[in-house]
Structure formats: C-alpha cells, structure tokens
Amino acid sequence: MSPDEAASWAAASAPTAAEVIARQPSLNPGELPVHDLLLHGWIALFGSSIAAMRALSAALGVLSIALVYIVVIELFVTGSEKDSALSNDDIGMIAGLAALLFAVNLVTIKYSREARMYPLMLAAILAQVAMFLRAIRVVGLANYAAVVVLTAIAIASNFTAVLIPATEGLWLVFIIARAGWRPEDLNARRAWTIAIALAVAGLILMRKLFSSLRSASAGSVGGWRKPPALYEPFALFNKATGSFAFPILAALAIWGVVRGWRRGAHDATNFALLWMWAPPLMMVVASYAIAPVFVERYALSCFVPFFILAALGIFELPGDLVRVGGLALAVAFSVGHIVSYDRKPHDAQYREAIAAAESALKPGELMTAVPSYAIEVLRYYLPADQQNRAVRYDPSGPPAAVLILGDQSLAPAGVQSYRKDYPQTVARLRGVTVLRR
C-alpha cells in the first residue's frame, strides 16, 4: 500500500459516513469526500483488503472505457457540421478505436490500479464532457441539469478537475464569438445557457475551491513539487504513453487532425485539440502564478482527446490493411509499454518495513514515519490493538524509537538529518529504510 492509498483507507474506513466526512479534509485535502464515501460503502460490501479497495478503481476504469466511446459519439455527431463526410457507422468505428487505445494505455491503467480518487474523477469528467457536448447539440433542461450535476461531481472528486469546465468555457466563448455575439442566434443562446450551468456548478463549490487554492499556495514553499519547465506540456504525453508508442500515436493524431479538418469535422477536431492542450498549459500558468500543480494525474482526461485524434488518424489511413497495421502498431507498442513498466517494481516495501520496525521495538517504545503522512500505512498494517504504537512524526515532541524513512521526494540534507537522529539501520528495503535511535 502506498501512503496516498493509506490516506484514502484511513478516511473511508471510519465507522460512519459522518466520520468519513469529518476525517476527509485533513487526510485528503483538495477534494470533497465523494470518493471516500464511495469507498466507505465499497469497504462495507467487500472489505478493506488492498485488492478489494483497488477493485473499485478498476471498475471505474472499465466504466471509463465505455464513457470514452460515448464522448466520441457526442463529439462527432453534431448538427452544426452538416458538411462532414463522416457517417454514423464511421463515427462508431472511430469511437471503438478510441476506446481501445484508451483501454491499452499505461497512463489510464496504472491509476485504475490504485485505491485513490483519480479513476472517479476521470469517469466523472468523461460523463460531464459527453453531456456538455450533447447540451450544445440538443436543447433540453435535463441536459443542462446533467451538466451542472456532473461538473460538481467531477470537481468535488478532485479540485483540479476545474480545468475541464475552464476549457469548456473557452470553447463556449468561441461559439458565441462565431455567432457574432448575437443573442438571437440559437447556437449563441445554447452556449450562454451552458455557460450559466457551468457557473452554477462553480458557485456550489466556490468556497471550497478558494480554500483549497489558499492551502496549496501556503504549502508550496519547501514542498516536493517544483515549477514545471515550459516544455512539460509536450513531454507529458511522451512520458505517459511511452517513448516508443508516443511517436506512433502522435503521428496518427497529427494525421487525424489533418483529415478531420479536410473532412469538414472542424468543431470536433478543434475541440479535441483544445481539450488536449488547454489544461496542461493552464497547469503551467498556475504553477508559476499560485503553486506548482503540474502533475500527470491531474491531467488524466487530456489523454482522451489525444487517443481520439489518434483513432481518427487510424480510421483515415488508406485501405483496411493499412488501418489494421496502424492499429496493430499502436496497440503493440502501448502494451509493450505496460509490460516494460510492470517488469520493474514501483512500490515501497512498507509492509516489510513495518514488520522489521515491530521486531526492533522494545516494550513501551513507539515507531514513526517520514514523510509524516505515511503514518496511515503503518496503522493499516499494524494489528488493531497495536495501532497506537505508530505516532505521527513530530520533531518537537517525544522522540519515537524507530523511524521508517521513505526514500521518495526527500532532499539529501533532510535524509542526513534523520540519519543523525536515528543512526542505527535496522533494515534497508525497496523505497524505504528502517532506522533506530
């Protein structure tokens, strides 16, 4: 179990829903307790083993595959593009290809293996985007209400999801400007109505959003995140999809953009490009203006339009044999990226470290962990009657006898200071070291 997963467990394993809500702000800041409450109910049904808790994320990941298909349908089936040469069968084929590329890419798989809120955020964003696109095409109170509800759920799952309605706001400005800012224009009226729906969802969560921004800004000094380089939005897609798969997917996506424009599917192609690039660029701006927030998992949904454009590129290849070859290459190198990733361990051996720490403790002694939020991992693995032997790291308080030191995101000077206080090495494990005074 990772320290982040342990935070989700600590909140969701509370005895009541009210206690989950009370615990969540300190354990999982930057969100509302939507995921923790969902996981609370899941634990009640299936238990709190790591496999059981991760199964919730896996289920949401599978749901997202279907939602990608729906998003593609809504993206291309738009009444404003009567000149597009794509038939319903063509759009269905592109949707299936996009869902397949989404399903076999590591960036979408690895987060579905963690007991965290990101698969829920991604599923909520995909559902929200589908209803946003439908509301542009089909007038209806139910569609507008769905936009409000799904926007609120997505943002509540993780506040960084606000990047998506912000991107959609840019698209609505484009629609209104294209209509000449005329309020009598039908498309402009729809855009204004959807903008109001997005604003309503934002107003519901405004106080929490501002509180989160203040916390992020205050916690950025000396934090583990660094401001991103200006090329990071471009490197994001390469790192996430793999150095070998990325050139193939990128070439297919570029071909998809060219062919999409030539076919007359301008709105679908342009919206996909905006969705792909606007959130990463916003994260760069926010990283320098407020606090470093350029993190891959915050931009998970931006890979969906990348896969959509690559799917369009595959569909637009000349001839069935070439299409099959392009798809085979994209899938093979994507699966190869997964295999290569899985051959190397990416976890820290906290379970083994806690067992070593227990054996090193004398009666009445306590253990602690650095980083301090990893304390919930200790409590997860310790027997219920021994959990009070794990205390949060506090340099000003009574010292614990044993320190479990995580290797990630620690400056060398910090490591040396901990080793000075805890000079004896009890165990050196993958990603974590057990030290004793």
Q: Write down the pLDDT at residue 127.
A: 98
Question: How far, in Å, CA of 81 to CA of 87, rounded?
Answer: 12
Q: Write down the pLDDT at residue 220.
A: 46
Which residues have C-beta within 8 Å of that of residue 315, sequence separation ≥ 6? 90, 93, 94, 97, 256, 323
Question: How far, in Å, CA of 387 to CA of 367, rounded?
Answer: 10
Q: Write down the pLDDT at residue 52.
A: 97
Q: Write down the pLDDT at residue 221.
A: 42
Q: Write down the pLDDT at residue 79.
A: 47
SS3 track for the chain:
CCHHHHHHHHHHCCCCHHHHHHHHHHHCCCCCCHHHHHHHHHHHHHCCCHHHHHHHHHHHHHHHHHHHHHHHHHHHCCCCCCCCCCCHHHHHHHHHHHHHHHHCCHHHHHHHHCCCCHHHHHHHHHHHHHHHHHHHHCCCHHHHHHHHHHHHHHHHHCHHHHHHHHHHHHHHHHHHHHCCCCCCCHHHHHHHHHHHHHHHHHHHHHHHHHHHHHHHHHHCCCCCCCCCCCCHHHHHHHHHHCCCHHHHHHHHHHHHHHHHHHHCCHHHHHHHHHHHHHHHHHHHHHHHHCCCCCCHHHHHHHHHHHHHHHHHHHHCCCCHHHHHHHHHHHHHHHHHHHHHHHCCCCCCCHHHHHHHHHHHCCCCCCEEEECHHHHHHHHHHCCHHHHHHECCCCCCCCCCCEEEEECCCCCHHHHHHHHHHCCEEEEEECCEEEEEC
Question: How far, in Å, CA of 111 to CA of 113, rounded?
Answer: 5
- Would you give per-residue pLDDT tens digits along the chain (437 residues)? 999 999 999 999 999 999 999 999 889 888 899 999 999 999 999 999 999 999 999 999 999 999 999 999 999 986 445 556 788 999 999 999 999 999 999 999 999 999 999 999 999 999 999 999 999 988 899 999 999 999 999 999 999 999 999 999 999 999 999 988 888 888 899 999 999 999 999 888 877 766 655 554 554 444 556 788 889 999 999 999 999 999 999 999 999 999 999 988 999 999 999 999 999 999 999 989 888 889 999 999 999 999 999 999 999 999 999 999 999 999 999 999 999 999 999 999 999 999 999 999 999 999 999 988 899 999 999 998 899 999 999 888 888 999 999 987 676 777 888 888 899 999 999 999 999 99
pTM: 0.93
Q: Which residues of 99-130 are buried (b: 16+ CB within 10 A; e: fewer)?
A: bbbbbbbbbbbbbbebbbbbbbbbbbbbbbbb
Tell me how crowded residue 56 is: count the other CB atoms within 10 A of its CB.
24
